[in-house]
């Protein structure tokens, strides 16, 4: 993990500053509007404190722990007439600053709910990916399918099942013998921390809404610049038949493995193309296919959410025992939130992450170690846009080289405008 001490110190400073001003109700509570409303600026600041996570259960794809993080978001929207809006966002995690969103929204018809977005666009796939801001998350941790780093990498791969099984539970940092030999982390089934680059179309008609996108990366590896010759195609459909009920399904397919990693592998093609001489476009065969389904129901003081994600990666075979035609994974969670009072709520999430079996020289196991998590907690609104959260996580992992379980309490202070 990078810079946890710095994050904790900065988060404590944030807590002191925010708490001292909250009593006087001096914190801004609305986005800042300038230039006659044509420019709107908003943001949020989140400080999260938790113990060291020795099992790396909460590491993200930027190498930070979600339970030890100071995150600052600043977003802006610039209206350039009734049909065009330019939107951007910059995010800092533990003092590391990165562009998060940067796209142009085009509304051909102002009277219809239809828009086209071009650039680094919002997620198309999944339910949680569309509400990853801390104010939308009733707990502190992220669902495993969107956060937990598996032993899958886009820039490197195992040369055999035996090598793949040797890396079980080490998704936070490892190296493979084929492709990029750097010691890096793997990918989650779906990334909740990066947006992809491309074109997205969204429309709503009555109770039905649909979104489709063509982007450079895949749901587990969003990119700004493409690293292979393919594009991902993703779509999502939502149905709202009655008040409080939302049912959705998502599908995504695209080339996953980078061109360099694909060329570094010996690929069993019909023409027996030699390593380093893949036929044009052959790297497109090494794909990620993801499917998701989600359901949300809210009424009175409670809200219940369910989501499941199935992801399958196709990788080249290099040596025996060869990787199977598909490496599959399944993530499922159910969460609920109940308001005890207008300012006070409790919440819980139960989830599991599983992997398909592969057969090596001596054993048959899931290609990564399975993980389960239970998180309980709650939140108290100090003022409308200042929220204090408390949570406790229990993480458990199947056989692997890393620590098999962890009990992790955490506290988070969130301010947004």
Which residues of the chain, if any, have pLDDT below 70? 1-27, 266-283
The pLDDT value given to residue 269: 41
pLDDT computed for residue 266 by the predictor = 58
CA atoms within 13 A on the CB side of 303: 15
* pLDDT of res. 75: 95
**Looking at the domain assignment, is residue 163 inside a domain?**
yes
**CA 1 to CA 45: how far, in whole Å?**
20
User: What pLDDT, on a 0 to 100 scale, did the predictor assign at position 368?
Assistant: 97
Report the pLDDT value the prediction gives residue 52, as an integer from 0 to 100.
92
Does residue 202 fall inside a structural domain? Answer: yes
* Whole-number pLDDT of residue 62: 74
Q: Residues near 361 by Cβ (< 8 Å), separated by ≥ 6?
A: 161, 162, 321
Best CA proximity match to 179, nearest among 204, 152, 157, 207: 157
The confidence score (pLDDT) of residue 3 equals 47
403 in any annotated domain: yes
Q: Is 57 among the domain residues?
A: no
pLDDT of residue 11: 47
Residue 209: CB atoms within 10 A of its CB come to 17
Domain count, the chain: 1
Question: In sequence order, what E strands does 285-368 have?
Answer: 287-299, 302-313, 327-341, 344-355, 357-359, 364-366
In a domain, 357, yes or no: yes
Tens-digit pLDDT profile for residues 249-272: 999 999 999 999 999 985 554 333
Could you tell me if residue 277 is inside a domain? Answer: yes
pLDDT score for 86 = 97
Where residue 189 sits, what CATH number does that domain have? 2.40.160
- Domain hosting 371: range is 126-416
- Is residue 112 one of the residues assigned to a domain? no
pLDDT value of position 133: 78
Domain for residue 121, yes or no? Answer: no
Cis ω for the linkage preceding 158 (within 30 of 0): no
Contact 148, 171 (CB under 8 A): yes
Whole-number pLDDT of residue 401: 77
Pick from 172, 286, 150: which is nearest to 220 by CA? 150
């Amino acid at each position: 993990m990078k810079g946890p001490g710095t994050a904790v110190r900065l988060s404590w400073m944030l807590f002191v500053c925010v708490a001292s001003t909250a009593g006087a109700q001096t914190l801004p509570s609305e986005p800042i509007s300038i230039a006659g409303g044509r420019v709107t600026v908003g943001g949020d600041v989140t400080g999260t404190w938790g113990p060291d996570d020795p099992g790396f259960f909460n590491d993200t794809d930027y190498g930070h722990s979600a339970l030890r993080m100071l995150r600052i978001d600043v977003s802006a929207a610039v209206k350039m007439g009734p049909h065009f809006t330019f939107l951007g966002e910059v995010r800092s995690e533990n003092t590391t600053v990165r562009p998060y969103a940067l796209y142009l929204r085009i509304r051909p018809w102002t009277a219809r709910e239809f828009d086209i977005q071009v650039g680094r666009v919002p997620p198309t796939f999944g339910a949680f990916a569309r509400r990853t801001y801390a104010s939308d998350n009733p707990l502190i941790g992220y669902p495993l399918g969107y956060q937990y780093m598996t032993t899958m990498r886009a820039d490197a791969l195992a040369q055999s099942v035996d090598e793949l099984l040797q890396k079980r539970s080490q998704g936070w940092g490892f190296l493979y013998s084929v492709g990029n030999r750097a010691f890096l982390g793997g990918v989650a089934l779906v990334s909740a921390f990066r947006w992809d680059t491309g074109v997205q179309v969204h429309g709503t008609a009555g109770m039905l809404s649909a979104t489709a996108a063509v982007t450079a990366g895949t749901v587990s590896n969003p990119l700004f610049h493409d690293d292979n010759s393919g594009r991902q195609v993703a779509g999502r459909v939502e149905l709202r038949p009655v008040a409080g009920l939302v049912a959705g399904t998502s599908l995504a397919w695209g080339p996953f493995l980078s061109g360099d990693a694909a060329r570094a592998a010996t690929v069993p093609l019909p023409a027996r193309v030699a390593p380093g001489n893949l036929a044009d476009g052959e790297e497109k065969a090494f794909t990620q296919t993801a499917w998701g389904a989600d359901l949300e129901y809210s009424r009175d003081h409670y809200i219940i959410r369910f989501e499941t994600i199935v992801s399958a990666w196709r990788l080249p075979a290099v040596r025996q025992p060869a990787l199977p035609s598909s490496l599959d994974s399944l993530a499922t969670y159910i969460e609920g939130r109940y308001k005890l009072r207008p300012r006070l709520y409790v919440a819980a999430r139960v989830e599991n992450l599983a992997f398909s079996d592969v057969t090596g020289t001596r054993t048959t196991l899931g290609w990564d170690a399975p993980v389960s998590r239970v998180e309980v907690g709650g939140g108290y609104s100090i003022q409308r846009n200042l929220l204090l959260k408390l949570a406790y996580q229990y993480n458990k992992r199947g056989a692997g080289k890393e620590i098999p379980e962890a009990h992790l309490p955490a506290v988070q202070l969130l301010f947004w405008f």
